[in-house]
Structure 1
Amino acid sequence: MSMSSEIEFITACKEKVLSGQKISKEESDRLINTPEEYLQILSDAANEITRKLCGNVVDVESLINAKKGKCQEDCSFCSQSAFYKTDIDTYKLLPPETIVQNAMLSKNDGVKSFCLVCAWRGPTEKDFEQISSIIDKINKEVGIEVNCSLGFITQDMALKLKKLGVKRYNHNLEAPRSFFSQICTTHTYDDRMETNLIVKNAGLELCCGGIIGMGETRMQRLELGLDLAGLSPEECPINVLVPQQGTPLELQTRLSISEILRTIAVFRFLMPKTILKIAGGREVYLSNDQERALLGGANGIITGGYLTIGGNSPPDDFQMISKIGLEA
């Protein structure tokens, strides 16, 4: 393939997306396999789509692990699963005061949204009532946008969250359909899909992404991207596996930076108006290349740490965003 034809192809796909059309499966196949020497051109095209369709704002969110560990699901990437000996500290649902205090700290740091995350299959009625009263408390005492990630929920629960003013619900697909059974056996890909449809039907915004670098192929990453695009999520977190000791994936080979940047760029072509959030693993893998991700298709980050690993502090992240001429 000549240099000019490769550049022309990337440009043609970019123009197609900017004119409001979807790229075809064949076009996305070719984009994900862009030769290494044209990767920067692919990233620049993804950046142009982002700037023109999403503006210059980076969505900055923080989260709290409101209930940690002892999860009854066997997701092989997760140190919170009760199936594995991972030596993490575990706790039941945190006291409301602690969660509200964390929400206030996030707001004071300039963070726009705060996500409540719980490690379980899904909430019991009692758990859900507690979470609902905590959300109510945050609304009254803090006034920050609240998002939730509570696992499998019913239609009634989704409607209640909507009524409480929750903006977005997170439920990741995690892995590509063709790879999912190698990652989890306690629930199916379709179970996850079903929850996402419950969320959308309730009128909540959907936050749905996955984890790359778990041993899937490049084409399987594209498969995940195509399925995600089919859900039209308002937000899509791209996590990169950070192997956790004691989990089945603890020795998983790490993805290269170029593979991460390639994935982000193509996901932008597939989801031109979605908030593409570079999430877990960005500090570990990208260190000084995080700016390249935010200038290569991503337009969101999670700040202040994740569920079981630390992260950048909000002031450092805000500084990075302004350094590259973007705003938060």
Structure 2
Amino acid sequence: MSGIRHDWSVEELLALYRLPLLDLVGRANAVHRQHHPDGEIQKASLLSIKTGACPEDCAYCPQSAHHREVDLERDGLMDPERVLAMAARAKQAGADRFCMGAAWREVRDGKAFDAVLTMVSGVRALGMEACVTLGMLKPHQARRLAEAGLTAYNHNLDTGPEFYGQIITTRTYQDRLETLAHVRASGIELCCGGILGMGESDRDRMAMVQVLAGFDPHPESVPINALVPVPGTPLGGRERIDPLEIVRMVAVTRLVLPQTTVRLSAGRSHLGREAQILCLLAGANSIFYGDRLLTTPNAEADDDDLLLAAIGPREAVAHAGR
């Protein structure tokens, strides 16, 4: 179970996902300890550097220009100096990875992209890992990000291929895979995960894991998000997902991607302390630290300090990344 595989079938993954919970978590924890014996939990900080007016129609996203009833203040691209000042504060608070998100459909060459490159190089100069999510990329843009020192590029699959069209119509699954291929070819690490609770089936979830497992090498980072229903979006009326479904997803991800950093991401503040601890036991080894994730609430830093103290005695410590 602890070997590196790229040929998982959806049926195999469903069988894992539907194991008795304690059996599943126990297996995942054994694999986690084998590949991550130091027990480190990375703290990452996430900042929206350009907010709203995105031309994509992602049904979950309050930043889409299609969802006009969402109460969201739109902001243009932030000044690099301001971003780097916030990165420095995040580092002082304990984060060693700084992630920056811009609500763009795709990267366009010009002053805005140049400003992002300045942000990336500045974050790296602080001694932090740098991750960005900017939408679709062309090969030369991925190379420029690599030259600026970018650690990782986030570009989520969101869900399985069959369900994807019910969530997003303005770009295809293949579009996402092509951007990920450009990122990989440039030597930048992949940060690629999905969202649970959008109405997808267990099979859709496992189909996404199958795609992630098919990457060779596996993505270095996989964020697991729980839908945060935002009023005014098409998914704004959905009930929040059962926290134990997130635990199951984390456990399967750990079993299938044993060396990957599994990031407990959006929706974490609604899981409760005990469910978060179960996720960490099942193989999650990174949390986003700070009170917001782009435009949605996140757990308060003080609450996270109490959570990490509760699972002590080891403190969450920074690591150099993979």
- The answer to whether TM tops 0.5 is yes
Q: What is the Cα deviation at residue 254 of structure 1?
A: 2.3
| 2:21 pairs with one of 39, 52, 55 | 39
Q: Which residue of 2 aligns with 1:72?
A: 55
How is 1:121-200 mapped onto 2 (pairs within 5 angstroms)? 121-126=105-110, 127-140=112-125, 142-200=126-184
Kindly indicate whether residue 194 of structure 2 is the aligned counterpart of residue 210 of structure 1. yes
SS of residue matched to 1:276: strand
How is 1:281-300 mapped onto 2 (pairs within 5 angstroms)? 281-300=267-286
Does the 8 Å CA contact 1:117/1:148 hold for their aligned counterparts? yes
Segments of structure 1 that go 5 or more residues without pairing to the other structure are: 1-16
Q: Which structure has the larger Rg?
A: 1
Larger mean Cα displacement after TM superposition, 166-175 or 48-57: 48-57
Q: TM-score scaled to structure 1, two decimals?
A: 0.89
SS of residue matched to 1:18: coil
Q: TM-score scaled to structure 2, two decimals?
A: 0.91
Kindly indicate whether residue 271 of structure 2 is the aligned counterpart of residue 271 of structure 1. no
Higher relative helix content: 1
Q: What whole-Å deviation, never above 9, does each CA across 1:88-144 have from its counterpart, x for those lacking one?
A: 11100012222011100111011111011101102221221111122233344x332
> 1:230 is aligned with what amino acid?
G
SS of residue matched to 1:74: coil
Segments of structure 2 that go 5 or more residues without pairing to the other structure are: 318-322
Q: What whole-Å deviation, never above 9, does each CA across 1:168-219 have from its counterpart, x for those lacking one?
A: 1110001210001100111001100110010000000100001111000011
State how far apart, in whole Å, the 2-side matches of 1:136 and 1:23 are: 37
State how far apart, in whole Å, the 2-side matches of 1:113 and 1:212 are: 24
Percent identity (aligned): 36
Gap change, CA 1:315 and 1:290, over 3 Å in 2? same
SS of residue matched to 1:81: coil
Q: Which residue of 2 aligns with 1:89?
A: 73
Q: How many positions carry a matched residue from both structures?
A: 308
Q: What is the Cα deviation at residue 319 of structure 1?
A: 4.0
> 2:283 is aligned with what amino acid?
G
SS of residue matched to 2:271: helix
SS of residue matched to 1:182: coil
State how far apart, in whole Å, the 1-side matches of 2:200 and 2:102 are: 26
Does the 8 Å CA contact 1:50/1:299 hold for their aligned counterparts? no
Q: What is the Cα deviation at residue 44 of structure 1?
A: 1.9
Q: Which runs of 4+ in 1 moved over 3 A?
A: 19-24, 137-140, 313-316
State how far apart, in whole Å, the 2-side matches of 1:45 and 1:206 are: 25
Q: RMSD of aligned C-alpha atoms?
A: 1.7
